[in-house]
Structure 1
Amino acid sequence: FTALAREITRRKPIIVVKSGRSGAGSRAASSHTAALAETDVATDALFAQCGVIRVDTVEELFDLAMAFSHQPIPRGKRVAIVTNAGGPGIIIADACEAQGLVVAELAEATRQRLAAFLPEEASLGNPVDMIASATPRSYRAAVESVLADPGVDAVIATFVPPLGVRQEDVAEAIVEAVREHGGKPVLAVLMGREGLPQGLAELQRVGIPGYRFPESAVRALAAMHRHRLWLERPEGSLRSFPADRDRVAALVHHAHSEGRSRLSEVEVMEVLEAYGIPVAAHRVARTAEEATRAADEIGYPVVLKALSPRVIHKSDVGGVRVDLRDAAEVRAAFQQIWREVPERAGIPPQELEGVLVQAMARGGKETIIGMTSDPAFGPLLMFGLGGVYVEALRDVVFRIHPVTEVDAREMVGSIRGVRLLEGIRGEPPTDLAAIEEVIQRISQLVADHELLHELDINPWMAYAEGGVAVDARIMLRSARS
């Protein structure tokens, strides 16, 4: 599907109604197609990578199809709005902004052309509000004027019928304007019931999409603009990085043969390092003396973390000590972990395998880079704001594996909090290119080792130059899967 959709959408759009967004819808879908609720995220990711346009309703499907079938794709996102009532014009302007379109700044020459035939009470800005006295002749002249403006990429003309002006006459005026000055998409909104069928029929006769509600026209135009962006999007390619595949394969297969479902924290760091992903400096200590010696070698401050396959959430059982600044603090923290964790975690002392001594990451921005396996779509790669923000904000984006450099760039740029990474209020921007590279390295890691089921780097501490993996986990496929 992916390869075929990418080929087709380069020539013509594919518009899809995909049900199952809600939990109830997903459960209903599962009874027929064995799909799972979580696959909706995968569906959106797949469509984004294939240029497929997703809609939520059959009505929206036909609204978009009508525009795509009869109008040219806009060259840009600048929209001119022509109306005879202020309310609908403002609604369209607001909807344009919400959909990623821009209300065009009309050229002075265009404003002068409009002033030549509109009354003084009219607004010569954008929206062009011709007020209720506008005639069909006014509509034709106004649409012609904005179509001729080089700063306008598309036009939405809306009409609210006052007494004495027929819908079909205004529709015919819009048709004449487009006939004389074509080349840019024009969509019309006819409001009110009187004469609506005749007006819509006149528009459709020559292929001008006619809508009853302003939002419908804006959604259709926004979809056309997004399709233009897809057509201009480079296809991208898969990068290949130097990696110690054999080392990771041996490690993963050994853990799998032991029936383990996860790698230890030390093993995870070894896997990441084998694929060129920087990790925080660390040592394993089994005595207080080893811990202080490791901290001296790494440099203060350091973090101590309990190491046990039975302890998943270390902080909950006192298994993490942070910001340790000298040997005395390290020794005391080690002894506390060794004394408290077995009791609080309910494990025998011998199952506490040691303590990880790790350099404490300072500054930077916390992000998350990960992978999860979808039962229908396979591996999904994820990026977003990390640390405490993951569960609180859920500001993450997914893409289907494998991920090209273009996919990785879009992932980083698509999260809502990207401005935090770009630098605000004088803060230096983080190294977005380094994040994109790590995403691609994870994509290669997943491609090389099919036993990997889940992977989280949280946080990936992003700095102005480079970054470092501070915490990470890898889950393996079960022997039955």
Structure 2
Amino acid sequence: MSRDLAPLSRDLAPLFDPVSVAVVGASDDPAKYGHAIASQALRAPHRRPIHLVNRRGGTVLGQSAAPSLTALGEPVGLVVVSVPAPVYEQTVEEALACGARAIVAVTAGFAETGAEGLARQRAVAEKVRAAGAVLVGPNCLGIADNTTELYLASDAFDLGGVALLSQSGNLALELQLAFAPHGLGFSRFVSLGNQSDVTLVDLVRDCARHDATKAIAVYAEDFGDGRAFAQAAATAGKPVVLLSAGRGAAAARSAASHTGALTTSAAIVAAACRDAGVELVRTPREMTAVLAAVAGGRRARGRRVAVFTDGGGHGVVAADAAEAAGFAVPELGPRVRERLAGQLWGPSALGNPVDLAGMGEQDPMSYAAVVRTLLDSDEIDAVLMTGYFGGYSSDSGGLGGATGTLGATELAAADSIARAVRASPKPVVAQSMYPDAPSCQNLQAAGIPVFAAIEDAARALAAVVVAEDAGAEGGAAALEPLPEPAEPMTDTGYYATRAVLAEAGLRFPASAEISTEAGVRAFARSTSGPFVLKALHLLHKSDAGGVALNLADEEALVAAHREMHARLSAPSYSVEQMADLGAGVELIVGVNRDPRFGPIAMVGLGGVFTEVLGDVVFALAPVSAARAETMLRDLRCAALLDGVRGRPAVDVAAAAKAIEQITRVAAVQYDLAEFEVNPLLALPSGALALDARAVPLVPPSLSDY
């Protein structure tokens, strides 16, 4: 995982707009991939020369085929390699010798087969880079660029503004079908393959510069350098939507801390997306909903949504869906209600949801009047329209279709709604029982996404909310560069870890490391109680009975030491002043080093119930104090920070500063797998670290503890 978040971007022009193309392995056999790609490549022979290569020569797809690249007798710009694995290296070398600046390797059988295949793959990639060329794959399914008429995938894709970077070819076909009702299409398609040379990060950066690409859609199972992906997405300047597979529980391992036990692949990817401003989705359907919304370009500046319907049931369901998506559905004020009352009839509901209650059948233009009023109101940030709209112009709606009076009026209402939306910066999203109706298609054409399911409409609306504090919530400002590594911690013991944190500014209770009863008594006589006794050099001190709390005086401390030492025979112990846990809130702050995304910070409710409650949030580390405060406010237990049931509010700013100090220390220790302070006691004034643990990247055996 590279520390460099912004390496030089690679020139991928030879890949997406080559001077010529050669398909090696072109075939007349429809069962072979070389047939599919050659067929697509020949769709645009006017744009650039298209050469077909088949070792038997002759003709392929009615065009003369050369027996080899060399036999073409002229340089080639891009070479598609679709040959058996045993001749892969030879074919790539011949392509480079013929001047190829880009290679698309369909051939499979490399890293996905094991160590030997990985070694072959790397060797070829090194030769390609040494020649100054670029390679996509191997084990990919081709590429396409509709803007340059480059068709080197098995299927044709409709022209549009979405660049799809995917580790699945079939997913592209599914998205093509899902996109069609929303007028979406593809600017580019790239099958990532094994990413031996050109990576996902390279492609995101290039698509960010591509004027015809308005949004970047990614399906990824392997991010490679995840931190660089997050940075590329954060600085893309256009929406990035990620469908990530394999985000379940992390591979089974023996976690040496609460942080290790609670940090999963899903949590890491979600944290990276949040910090980078990436829309994370779970299904192709959800990806379509998000892309349909962001394509409109309008953004909601807050989370107050007006639900507008023509039936009570639709309104209630939509309001629930909006709230589940994180929106507020506030009751409208008297001025807006008064204006609505002048546009609707007596049975209509004027609060929120706004319900036409049959007014639409009297006058479909009432839909447009309500939308205009809601968009004009400074009480709401977005409009969610739901229900029957579309039924009047639909032949299946039962009320006359597009040629009837109601249908024609509904079409006019759709045009009026479109004009109102174009004149407003606020987004409108619709759900309709008849999403294919002519009036709904008019809305779609105007950039108003229409969905058949209300949950899709609510998710789409959530995708266009602009965070109130973009720096704290996500985007490039939330991604701090990884610092240069510090000297390795040769001693990761309790007191060595405390010393590193204390040097960074973290406060700890008074304490001493002792190994004799005399030392216990000396500490007790120099410091007021109550006391804490901890057995050192144990992974989980509490679980082993190696922590004793609330020891009132010297004799209680000595008794606890005798009993604990008789059971554990620890080489040394820590005696500390006991903090007043009831005066504050116990937090956990941990950092886990992920091989793809680097250090990941975790903040949550701490103490002995950390793993039981699991109330934690994650972010890419290091985190600033401002970002840390946002993380604290995102906890389910955040209300505890402000005081409950007579308990005082805690110093959230001090806790956030402590989190910043901890994550900065952990981020520079590249030799550590896990770093944890648990608990960090947030107090009414300041914060106090009560325990600390550092786990080496390669943990020692249990016999060393």
Aligned 1:183-222 pairs, distance under 5 A: 183=424, 184-192=426-434, 196-222=436-462
2: CA distance, partners of 1:423 / 1:171: 55
Shift of 1:407: 2.5
Contact 1:74 1:228 (C-alpha < 8 Å) held by counterparts: no
Match of 1:429 in 2: 649
2: CA distance, partners of 1:300 / 1:421: 27
1: CA distance, partners of 2:559 / 2:497: 27
- Letter of the 1:155 counterpart: V
Contact 1:238 1:405 (C-alpha < 8 Å) held by counterparts: no
* Superposed CA offset, 1:239-289 (max 9, x none): 99xxxx99x948x23x3xxxxxxx222222222222221112111222222
Match of 2:234 in 1: 6
Shift of 1:385: 0.3
Shift of 1:217: 1.1
TM-aligned CA distance change 1:23 to 1:372, over 3 Å? closer
Contact 2:247 2:266 (C-alpha < 8 Å) held by counterparts: yes
- Tell me which of the two structures has the higher relative contact order, counting C-alpha pairs closer than 8 angstroms and 6 or more residues apart: 1
Contact 1:289 1:331 (C-alpha < 8 Å) held by counterparts: no
Match of 1:359 in 2: 577
- Secondary structure at the aligned position of 1:42 is classed as helix
Match of 2:493 among 256, 260, 264: 264
* Superposed CA offset, 1:37-65 (max 9, x none): 93322111111111111111111111121
* Superposed CA offset, 1:64-118 (max 9, x none): 2112212511232222222110111111111222222222433423322322342
* TM-score, scaled to structure 2: 0.58
2: CA distance, partners of 1:203 / 1:317: 65
Match of 2:369 in 1: 141
- Secondary structure at the aligned position of 1:147 is classed as helix
TM-aligned CA distance change 1:465 to 1:331, over 3 Å? same
Match of 2:93 in 1: none
**Structure 1 residue 164 and structure 2 residue 366: aligned?**
no
* Superposed CA offset, 1:371-427 (max 9, x none): 111122111111100013311111111111232333322222221111111222342
Unaligned runs of 5+ in 2: 1-228, 253-262, 392-396, 701-705
- Secondary structure at the aligned position of 2:295 is classed as helix
Shift of 1:171: 5.3
Aligned 1:44-123 pairs, distance under 5 A: 44-123=270-349
Match of 2:685 in 1: 465
- Letter of the 1:141 counterpart: A
* TM-score, scaled to structure 1: 0.83
- Secondary structure at the aligned position of 2:592 is classed as strand
Match of 2:598 in 1: 378
Shift of 1:462: 1.1
Match of 2:503 in 1: 274
Report sequence identity in percent.
33
- Secondary structure at the aligned position of 2:550 is classed as strand
TM-aligned CA distance change 1:293 to 1:417, over 3 Å? same
TM-aligned CA distance change 1:226 to 1:417, over 3 Å? farther
Which structure: larger Rg? 2
- Letter of the 1:272 counterpart: L
Unaligned runs of 5+ in 1: 28-36, 256-262, 343-351
- Secondary structure at the aligned position of 1:102 is classed as coil
Contact 1:144 1:178 (C-alpha < 8 Å) held by counterparts: no
Shift of 1:146: 1.9
Aligned 1:173-252 pairs, distance under 5 A: 173-180=413-420, 182-183=423-424, 184-192=426-434, 196-226=436-466, 230=470, 235=477, 249=487, 252=489
**Structure 1 residue 324 and structure 2 residue 551: aligned?**
yes
Q: CA RMSD in A?
A: 3.0
Shift of 1:158: 1.8
2: CA distance, partners of 1:275 / 1:188: 52
2: CA distance, partners of 1:172 / 1:213: 24
Contact 1:282 1:298 (C-alpha < 8 Å) held by counterparts: no
- Secondary structure at the aligned position of 1:218 is classed as helix
Contact 1:172 1:203 (C-alpha < 8 Å) held by counterparts: no
Match of 2:523 among 294, 300, 306: 294
Shift of 1:180: 4.2
* Superposed CA offset, 1:120-163 (max 9, x none): 22211111111135231221222222222232322222232475
- Letter of the 1:103 counterpart: V
Shift of 1:232: 9.0
TM-aligned CA distance change 1:131 to 1:451, over 3 Å? same
Whichever structure has more helix as a proportion of its residues is 1
1: CA distance, partners of 2:469 / 2:456: 20
Match of 1:38 in 2: 264
Contact 1:49 1:407 (C-alpha < 8 Å) held by counterparts: no
- Letter of the 1:361 counterpart: A
- Secondary structure at the aligned position of 2:610 is classed as helix
Match of 2:566 in 1: 339
